[in-house]
Chains A and B, each alone.
Chain A
Amino acid sequence: MSASDLGVNEVLGVSRIEGPLVFVEGIGSVGYDEVVEIIDARGRMRYGRVLEVGEGLAVIEVFAGTSGLSIDGTRIQFTGQPYHIPVAEEMLGRIFDGLGRPIDGGPEPLAERYADINGSPINPTARVYPVDYIQTGISTIDGMNTLLRGQKLPIFSAAGLPHDQLAAQIVRQVALGVPVGQPPAKEQQFSIVFAAMGVKNDVAAYFRESFTESGALTRVTMFLNLADDPPVERLVTPRAALTLAEFLAFEKGMHVLVIMTDMTNYCEALREISNIRGEVPSRKGYPGYLYSDLAALYERTGRIKSSEGSITQLPILTMPNDDITHPVPDLTGYITEGQITLSRDLDHQGIYPPVAVLPSLSRLAKDGIGEGKTRADHSHWASQLFAAYAHVQDVRALASVIGEEELSEVDQQYVRFGKAFEQEVVNQGLTENRSIEATLNIGWRLLSMLPQEELTRVSQSELDEYYKGSA
């Protein structure tokens, strides 16, 4: 009702409650995006955030939902600043809820400082362009879609595909990349920030167990917003996680790998709020600012001049109905630096990880591979495998019409190559950690199944060195 002059602005009673939104009138000076504490009639406190302010009126989204709030019994305190979370190095090894409150039974972390979860955009001139590759031990990533330190590379998956296993395997195996011929880097150089948005309890448990088993738990911070947690909190979870990641990377100089799952749930929460507010929708009911909103998360990745550290993002999203043109994967693909796409087809054939090689891409790979980084032939090697495997698709389409026997001799070789490629390059064990050299060698062995004159993307000297087939 009245604005106190003591810094905190408090009102008693709200004028309207609709879904997760509360409308308050008769307030004094309230800031846009400011955080509020909402106290219900029984004295329980929950957080909310100001979405819109007008003279004497504010629209507030309530993170924990509005059940239990009443028109007259609700007290609202405006804190005068955007949502902040404590950040500290000792948060590694801890588990928090979607708003950044500890849920592992431990005490509140001792904050080194409090940080605004919205962050600020990194100045492009302050960035350092990524050039160092990360070894994940997975051939389809290291070899064909190389991930660099400071890159954002999402996993495009779908319901029922093993994206969780793949992400957990990457966390177990992740290491700084070294050129072929040099001793492998020490382990455990990466800190992991894990943000779960609307995932099921058992999925969160799977990750926790997997981190525990591999001994990674001490360098992992988990922010868990589970499927039965309030959807509005989901809008805070990735921001809280990235705020900690920025602190660890840019103030403590660590290499941080951020895993966010599942971005589709996040976008749905955003759509829910937008719809209740009556905003003009664009595609499939998602708000017009979905691109900008996602960009504000994904762009919090990279390296900067003033720190040794880096943030690498591996967001996971499930494509509704396996549709890559759905707004969530589509807008994500436009912001991120490539994508790892999983295929239901390969999964049915029992191939793990079922990475669909052709629609996958790492935009930055070109700058992190080759002489002195991986091996000199890497770039041509990858280009040749892509070209050959793309041709396999055409040949298979033809074979399905005229039958495999009717194919020309060369095309039959392609069919055999395609099969071997899926079985030996794509397919690997859940615990198999392949070195980059092993990956390159398998690739050359398979390319040697094709006649030499088919290999136009590699140079003659590379053929001389690595090609083992009949000339």
Chain B
Amino acid sequence: MSEQVGTVTWINGPVVRAEGSRYVSMMDLVEVGEDQLVGEVIGLNGNVITIQVYEETSGMHPGAPVYDTGLPLSVELAPGLLRSIFDGVQRPLPVIEALSGSFIGRGIHVDSLNREDRWDFTPKLQVGDKVSGGTIIGTVPETEALEHRVMVPPDVQGTLTWIAPAKQYTIDEPIARVETESGEKELTMLQRWPVRRARPYQMRRSMTEPLITGQRVLDTFFPLAKGGTAAIPGAFGSGKTVTQHSIAKWADAQVIVYIGCGERGNEMTEVLQEFPHLVDPRTDRPLMERTVLIANTSNMPVAAREASIYTGITIAEYYRDMGYHVALMADSTSRWAEALREISGRLEELPAEEGYPAYLADRLAEFYERAGHVETLNGQAGSISVVGAVSPPGGDFSEPVTQHTKRFIRCFWALDKSLASARHYPSINWLDSYSEYIEGVASWWRDEVGQDWHAMRAYAMELLSEESRLQQIVKLVGSDTLPDEQRLILETARLLREGFLQQNSFDPVDAYSPVEKQIRMLGLILNFHRHAQRIIKQGALISAIHDLPVVNTMIRMKTLVGNDELEKFDEIQKEIDQQLEQLEAEYV
């Protein structure tokens, strides 16, 4: 099916030029050289074809043949995606390991998904039913955590003339036939979809449900809605990857797509070794059963890094179309932007800011706009929430990738190097971060958790920003000169920072904090503040309040109170009341 369309004339790293046919199309997948390295057509000029190659081109020489597959770069979509780990162009890394050993060889051609595995297919339709793009034909228990819904490809419409009985099939075997306007079409469980094109849906829905991550600073202070977009920018060592991992572990999405884009090899290995052993608190199944990993580490070919983001989001869209909530993590989008820059540089394009191509913003927008909460073609609600890490050079948020990203996301989790240095994790700065989903998800909190989250959050934020103002004064003259009412604000803010915002992602209890626990903790601290404020007005000393044993209890309550013993908070509340009332009695 591949025919020779040209010969190589020029090679510069991952960018190759060839001369030949004028019938090759833009974005076609091509194979280059005797090793048949995979590449993509990124430019055409007369009979000169410019190709970005997804593998190392070392040793390639002019005169090497170029073959056209006639297809755009696509991913395979079928049961078997979950629990897999792919490279940036969806080649399964375990299969590559079996073929070429511990080091990744070149020119390896393998199927993305296993062709021998048999899946339990249960039909959901009958002959004569009308079907169109997205219609669910049947289901497959892909993992114990997730039912895979086999859908009609988006471009097929007609009447079902045959459907396979409930039995095991491979993804290549026919499971249905559809009579369409252009003749009868045979369907298998396998679909292909070009990665650079968004999969269709009916319409967008509003975003009112938060993506619960179990991270207090995110859920309570800067929530991300299901279908929303967030960015985590931060200098190196500020905790981007740990935050991304925490979200991948605990987010209440049904499917997680994790893209390690130009990052460390050991980090992907960590995920691979950890996730099969971690249990999803909602399904009681290993986290790996809902996870698809894409690993194109920093030393793997740069063009495949550019493609990895699209590979990931196309897989996410496929699960969204089944009616699932998907969370996609991209770590890091800056490495992806650098891949764009590197290829652009080798193409000798005119650079815009800091060497990045002028179309950087367009590409970022295209990517983030593929997130969303939608009504799928089959009428269900599905969503993709995207969390992109950004690695600004020198931690300087004014650089182009951070700035352009800010235009297309609505939730900004700014990591702070000075918090990280003091080992305050997650080191998300509460004054620089923001979320535009707060109003949208407020009613969810009211209905589902039953507390006035919106007002509590606003009050806590007010205290924290007041603290930051007071700290300016403290830095100049020390805290002793402040009136006790203001020193109480410092004390409460300390409780918020150490007792609430700080969260240890490696502690078995503290790693995941249910929303009910979050709101109880916040409530306790704020009640304490109001009560203490009252008795300070009556003349109690701040030092006496600071020394109350219950202050220490509040700082430790995140680990003292297990996630399934929230009634213990009643006791702590009682202690707070008792100790403050006792103090009050001394002064009244």
**Closest residue of chain B to A359, judged by CB?**
B421
Minimum distance in angstroms from A118 CB to a CB of chain B: 6
Interface pair B299/A408, CB less than 8 Å apart: no
Within 8 A of A (CB), among B410-463: 420-424
Q: Interface stretch among B90-98, B198-206, B278-286?
A: B90-98
A383-B423 contact given A130-B266, A299-B299, CB 8 Å threshold:
yes
Interface pair A292/B298, CB less than 8 Å apart: yes
Q: Which residues of B contact A82 (CB under 8 A)?
A: 58-59
Indicate which residue in A127, A287, A305, A326 contacts B266 across the interface (CB closer than 8 Å).
A127
Chain B 474-495: CB-based contact to A (< 8 A → 1; otherwise 0)? 1111111000000000000000
Interface pair A386/B395, CB less than 8 Å apart: no
Interface pair B9/A55, CB less than 8 Å apart: yes
Q: Interface stretch among B10-18, B216-224, B310-318?
A: B10-18
Question: With A and B bound together, what is the CA distance between A326 and B348 in angstroms?
Answer: 25
Question: With A and B bound together, what is the CA distance between A281 and B102 in angstroms?
Answer: 35
Interface pair B62/A30, CB less than 8 Å apart: yes
Is A402's CB within 8 Å of the partner chain B?
Answer: yes
Interface pair A32/B57, CB less than 8 Å apart: yes
Question: With A and B bound together, what is the CA distance between A234 and B299 in angstroms?
Answer: 19
Q: Which residues of A contact B63 (CB under 8 A)?
A: 29
Question: With A and B bound together, what is the CA distance between A145 and B264 in angstroms?
Answer: 18
Question: With A and B bound together, what is the CA distance between A295 and B298 in angstroms?
Answer: 6
Q: Which residues of B contact A130 (CB under 8 A)?
A: 266
A280-B269 contact given A33-B58, A124-B93, A334-B391, CB 8 Å threshold:
no
**Closest residue of chain B to A332, judged by CB?**
B236
Q: Chain A at the B interface: mostly helix, strand, loop or mixed? A: mixed
Minimum distance in angstroms from A326 CB to a CB of chain B: 8
Is A188's CB within 8 Å of the partner chain B?
Answer: no
Within 8 A of B (CB), among A114-140: 118-130
Interface pair B9/A32, CB less than 8 Å apart: no
Is A185's CB within 8 Å of the partner chain B?
Answer: no
Chain B 34-75: CB-based contact to A (< 8 A → 1; otherwise 0)? 000000000000000000000011111111000000000000
Is A424's CB within 8 Å of the partner chain B?
Answer: no
Q: Which residues of B contact A31 (CB under 8 A)?
A: 58-61
Interface pair B265/A122, CB less than 8 Å apart: yes
Most buried by B among A31, A283, A292, A325: A292
Question: With A and B bound together, what is the CA distance between A51 and B62 in angstroms?
Answer: 13
**Closest residue of chain B to A118, judged by CB?**
B58
Is B394's CB within 8 Å of the partner chain A?
Answer: yes
Q: Which residues of B contact A51 (CB under 8 A)?
A: 12
Is A401's CB within 8 Å of the partner chain B?
Answer: yes
Question: With A and B bound together, what is the CA distance between A40 and B506 in angstroms?
Answer: 62
Is B181's CB within 8 Å of the partner chain A?
Answer: no
Within 8 A of A (CB), among B290-337: 295, 297-300, 302, 335
Interface pair A123/B102, CB less than 8 Å apart: yes
Q: Which residues of B contact A282 (CB under 8 A)?
A: 341, 354-355
Interface pair B299/A295, CB less than 8 Å apart: yes
Q: Interface stretch among A16-24, A214-222, A223-231, A335-343?
A: A335-343
Indicate which residue in B102, B475, B479 contacts A306 across the interface (CB closer than 8 Å).
B102
Interface pair B93/A123, CB less than 8 Å apart: yes
Is B4's CB within 8 Å of the partner chain A?
Answer: no
Indicate which residue in A125, A281, A291 contacts B338 across the interface (CB closer than 8 Å).
A291
**What are 30 A-B interface contacts by the 8 Å CB criterion?**
A53-B11, A54-B9, A118-B56, A120-B105, A123-B103, A125-B85, A127-B269, A151-B266, A250-B102, A288-B345, A289-B302, A292-B302, A299-B298, A300-B299, A302-B265, A304-B102, A326-B394, A330-B394, A333-B235, A335-B298, A359-B237, A363-B237, A379-B506, A383-B423, A386-B421, A387-B423, A387-B424, A390-B422, A401-B476, A406-B478
Known: A283-B393, A288-B338. 4 other contacts (CB 8 A): A30-B61, A120-B105, A121-B265, A288-B341
